[in-house]
Structure 1
Amino acid sequence: MHQHRKAIAVARRQADWRSLALSLLAMGAALLSAII
């Protein structure tokens, strides 16, 4: 039971990192399009 909760926390952290990376990519693309 406790192990399952830990796995959920890890999965949530990975999802946060993924969304953060996606937002950074989107910001970079917006900056590039603004420069070009």
Structure 2
Amino acid sequence: MTKCNNRQSTINYLNFKQNSFIFYNLIWCFHFSDHIKKS
């Protein structure tokens, strides 16, 4: 049972990392395009 839970939390953690990475890229994209518009 513990092993199963461990595996699940690892998967959750990886998903979280991937999601925050995508989120960060989106913010960076918007930020960057904003700069291009201003100049």
Matched, 1:14 2:17: yes
Q: Which runs of 4 or more aligned residues in structure 1 lie more than 6 Å from their structure 2 counterparts after TM superposition?
A: none
Report % sequence identity: 3
Q: TM-score, normalised by structure 2?
A: 0.85
Unaligned runs of 5+ in 1: none
- Unmatched 5+ stretches in structure 2: none
C-alpha RMSD of the superposition: 0.5
Residue 28 of structure 1 corresponds to 31
* Cα distance per residue 1:3-30 (max 9 Å; x no partner): 0000000110111110010000000110
